């Protein structure tokens, strides 16, 4: 599967309302564009009620489920991970427990809806043009990524510089998150103070640098718990936690489950 798009209609969602689907994993990426309703969405066993309009991005390998209400409507776009390999959504998902972006009603009812309808028509052609579909999906992702940062970047004159520094921080973090390093290490790499780095991460992501570092480690921990046979101690040590008990406490504080409970629960729903 390269790409598919499905309108979230009453006929499609009614079976889910009567019999909510179990949490599951898949090997593709998904965009749930919720234009109406207040469904419940669970990702890695943390459930939250959504307020429409909103878009939910689900990276491949995540454990998730959706419980729609009677008003839920929108679109579901599924695509393979190599269809748009450089997506900011995919990159940022490595540093966020959940990827929800609020949408404006005007954008939903006009531009976004039109783009989705064009994509739907193209996918139903006998020979879909996947270059066209790639451009349409890229337009949606680019618009959403831009708007998501606009929520935090209030000062146009400095926004671009802050965003460049922030992205450089994430790239350095991606290379070093296995190490037991804190904010000072990354600030030094960027030739700035830890205070200034925190100001930038708050401006771009609404989170401290420490929170982003910890989130990256725990996202990797969940991935290893699901996709490897390493013990909890081995995973914790690999991610810079020298004590299993400390790693378990941090993991439970953020997820509500110990690493062992998370692994057992995940295998129970995906086996």
pLDDT tens-place values along the chain, 271 residues long: 689 999 999 888 877 776 666 677 778 899 999 999 999 999 888 889 999 999 999 988 888 888 999 999 999 999 998 898 777 777 888 888 888 888 888 887 788 899 999 999 999 999 999 999 999 999 888 877 776 655 554 555 456 788 889 999 999 999 999 999 999 999 999 999 999 999 999 988 889 999 999 999 999 999 999 889 999 999 999 999 989 999 999 999 988 999 999 999 888 775 5
Q: What angle do CA 30, 28, 124 make, to 5 degrees?
A: 70
Q: Are 53 and 104 in contact (CB under 8 A)?
A: yes
| Closest residue by Cα to residue 229 from 174, 267, 179 | 267
Q: Is residue 44 exposed (0-12), middle (13-18) or buried (19+ Cβ within 10 Å)? A: buried
Domains and CATH numbers, the chain: 3-150 (2.60.120.280), 158-270 (1.10.10.60)
d(CA 106, CA 111): 8
Cα–chain center distance at 71: 24
d(CA 1, CA 174): 29
Please write the tens of the pLDDT for every residue from 180-192. 999 999 999 999 9
Please write the tens of the pLDDT for every residue from 79-130. 998 898 777 777 888 888 888 888 888 887 788 899 999 999 999 999 999 9
Q: Are 208 and 182 in contact (CB under 8 A)?
A: no
CA quadruple 210, 211, 216, 222: dihedral positive or negative?
positive
Reduced to 3 states (helix: H, G, I; strand: E, B; else coil), residue 43 is strand
**The pair of three-digit structure tokens given for residue 68, joined into one six-digit string:** 């729609």
**What are the beta bridge partners of residue 43?**
46, 64
| Closest residue by Cα to residue 49 from 7, 100, 93, 113 | 100
Q: Are 2 and 83 in contact (CB under 8 A)?
A: yes
pLDDT at 21: 63
């Amino acid at each position: 599967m390269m790409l598919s798009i499905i309108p979230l209609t009453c006929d499609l969602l009614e079976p889910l309302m009567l019999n909510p689907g179990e949490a599951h994993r898949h090997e593709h990426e998904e965009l749930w564009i919720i234009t109406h309703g207040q469904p419940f969405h669970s990702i890695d066993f943390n459930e939250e009620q959504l307020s429409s309009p909103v878009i939910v991005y689900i990276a491949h390998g995540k454990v998730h489920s959706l419980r729609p209400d009677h008003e839920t409507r929108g679109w579901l776009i599924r695509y393979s991970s190599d269809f748009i390999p450089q997506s900011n959504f995919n990159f940022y998902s490595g540093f966020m427990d959940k990827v929800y972006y609020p949408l404006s009603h005007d954008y939903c009812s006009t531009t976004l809806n039109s783009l989705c309808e064009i994509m739907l028509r193209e996918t139903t052609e006998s020979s879909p043009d996947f270059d066209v579909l790639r451009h349409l999906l890229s337009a949606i992702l680019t618009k959403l990524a831009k708007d998501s940062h606009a929520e935090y970047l209030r000062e146009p004159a400095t926004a671009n510089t802050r965003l460049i520094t922030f992205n450089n921080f994430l790239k350095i973090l991606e290379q070093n998150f296995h190490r037991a390093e804190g904010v000072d290490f990354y600030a030094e790499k960027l030739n700035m103070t830890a205070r200034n780095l925190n100001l930038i991460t708050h401006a771009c992501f609404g989170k401290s640098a420490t929170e982003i570092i910890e989130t990256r480690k725990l996202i990797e921990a969940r991935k290893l718990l699901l996709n490897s046979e390493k013990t909890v101690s081995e995973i914790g040590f690999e991610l810079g936690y020298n004590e299993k008990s400390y790693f378990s406490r941090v993991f439970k504080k953020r997820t509500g489950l110990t690493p062992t409970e998370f692994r057992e629960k995940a295998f129970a729903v995906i086996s």
